[in-house]
Structures are given as structure tokens and as C-alpha cells.
Amino acid sequence: MLEEIYFQVDERAKIAVKIGSKVRKILSDFLLERGFVEIAPVIISPITDPLAHPVFDGEINYYGNKYYLTKSMIFHKQLALLSLEKIFCFSPNIRLELKDLEKTGRHLAEFTQLDLEVRNASREDVMELAEDMLIHLFKKLREECKEELEILGREIKIPSKPFKRISFEEAYNKYGKDYEEMLSKEEKEPFWIIDFPKWKREFYDKEYEDRKGWLVDMDLIYPEGFGEALSGGEREYEYERIVRRMEEKSMNLQAFYAYLQIARIAKFYPSAGFGIGIERLIRYICGFEDIRYTTLFPKIPGKYCI
């Protein structure tokens, strides 16, 4: 039985988990200090992030109602802003990725996303917040996890602000479809890719008013080939625009009935936010090739894991 189930006891994981618990505390203190309120994670809901890439749905039937395991809390972040101004959550995300992603070293079917959202904020506001947050984290870790980082032989560089930016268009024209990987290998510090086209993303990232087909959003990419760190942007918050964006993607509006009714009647606030993958962040900090060592119980795509 045990040979069939993936379970690891590994020195690297032991160190990474210690670093990880510091990472959560430092990030949480940083956000609380800035006036954010931590909300509890949503695990099941009738609505969840449709995502822009294929995964299996985690579906649950409860008294005849269909619930989904959370793929991201994007919609609940917008809903939470009806009550609170600035929120964050260490949100467990279930993304039942296809087996092809088993060996990327960057994917887990279960991971934690530090997801945050700010009422009336612009993309610029949350980009600056992310830069400050990471610089603060790296500085603190250099002091507080000195021993662990030494064992791993990893020196964390403190990036300088503002982080470099490149537009999706420029990156794609220069490097083609592997733009993210190639740029990530080339760069020495974390950098932004901004302004994705509509076809690349979900319906909820806001489309420019004066630049049809392009979105007010961003990804942060780690250097040294570590790839994507976070995704975020400004949001579509007006009922008619949300419906139009969903229709353009041929989505089933009925499945989002409750969300759309709230958008129409209660009206969402304009907002911006992002989600940063905690295990990917730890992987970068530790300098691991494989994300599985960032956690004690990795869910590797396609594998039977405990």
C-alpha cells in the first residue's frame, strides 16, 4: 500500500516548513500593520474561480446543491469588500491539475494562496504593496532564518524598488510563447509582466476603458528561472460589464446566478488585489528545484498522495 501512496520525510522539507511558518507570520504581521483584516478561508461554495487553464473540478453534492472546492477566492474577495475595506486570507486552493504538470516542479494540486483585495485601489497601489511586502519579508528572513538559509546554502537578495516591468505584448513579441520562462531565467530580480490580453485571462480582470482587448492586470515573476509568483489586477465590478465579459467567454451565467445578482443589486466596489502562492514563494526562498519539498504533504499532480 505505502509504495503506491506518495509520502515524504525529507530534511529539505523540515527546513522549508520552518521557514514557511515564519513567512506566514511576517506576511500576516505586515498586512495587519497596514490595516488589513484577515478573513477565514472559504473551502466550498457554489461558485469558484473558472481559471484560464484546464483542471478537474472538485465537486461536492450537498442536499442536492452543487458545491465546488475553492480554486481561488477571487469572488469571495469581492464579496468580502462589501463589508470590509482591505482583506487578506491564507486561502487553501484545490486545483486538480492534469498529470502533464507532474514534473514542472512548480505545481501542486493543493496549495495556499495569500489572497488579498483592497476597496477602491488601483493596480499601481497593489503593485507597490506587493513590492514593499516582499522586500520586508526578505529582509526579515535574512535575520530570522539565518541558520536555515545557511544550511540550504541560499542567500536571499533584496530587490530594489520599483521592480522592473515589461508588457505582455513586448515580452510575447520578443520571446514567443515561452516568454515567461525565458525572462525568468534571464532576470536577476523579481519583475512584473503587465497588461495581459483578454484571451489569456479569466473574465474578472478589468479591461481598459480605452484599449479594447487588454487588461489592467499583472503577474510577478521570480528570477533565476523560478517562474510565476503572483497574479492580480483591477477587477470588473459593474454588473453589465461582468455579464459581457462572461458572455464573451461563453460561460454559463446561471451557474453564477447568486454572484451576478449581488453585483446587480448590492453593487461591488471597484477594487484591485492579487494572490501569491505561498509554496512557490517558499520554493524561491529556499532555492528548491521541486516545490514538493516546501510542504510535508505535497499533492503532486496525477500522483496518489497522502
Residue ranges binding ligand ASN (CB under 6 A): 49, 72, 74, 113, 115, 231-233, 273-275
Whichever of 117 and 148 has its CB closer to ligand ASN, that residue is: 117
CB of 80 to ligand ASN, least distance (A): 12
* Residue 34: half-sphere exposure toward Cβ, Cα within 13 Å: 20
Compare residues 13 and 273 and give the one whose CB is closer to ligand ASN: 273
Nearest CB to ligand ASN, comparing residues 179 and 274: 274
Point out the residue whose Cβ comes nearest to ligand ASN: 275
Angle among Cα 293, 296, 155 to the nearest 5 degrees reads 40
Specify the DSSP element, H or E, that contains 271. strand 271-277
Strands, E assignment, 30-173: 37-38, 44-45, 55-56, 59-62, 65-69, 86-94, 96-97, 110-119, 164-167
Task: Confirm if 244 and 256 have CB atoms less than 8 A apart.
Answer: no
* Assigned C-alpha cell, 117: 483585495
Nearer CB in complex with ligand ASN: 148/202: 202
Running DSSP on this structure, what letter comes out for residue 155? -
- Give the sign of the dihedral formed by CA 167, CA 169, CA 171, CA 172: positive
- Tell the smallest beta-carbon distance from residue 190 to ligand ASN (Å): 17
| Residue 235: CB minimum distance to ligand ASN, A | 8
Residue 144 near residue 24, CB atoms below 8 Å:
no
Q: Residue 157 Cβ, how far from ligand ASN at the closest point, in Å?
A: 26
Min separation Cβ 63 and ligand ASN, Å: 29
Min CB(170)–ligand ASN separation in Å:
22
User: Is the Cβ of residue 34 or residue 200 nearer to ligand ASN in the bound state?
Assistant: 200
Q: Looking at beta carbons only, is 13 or 36 nearer to ligand ASN? A: 36
Residues 6+ apart with CB under 8 A from 22: 140, 141, 144, 145
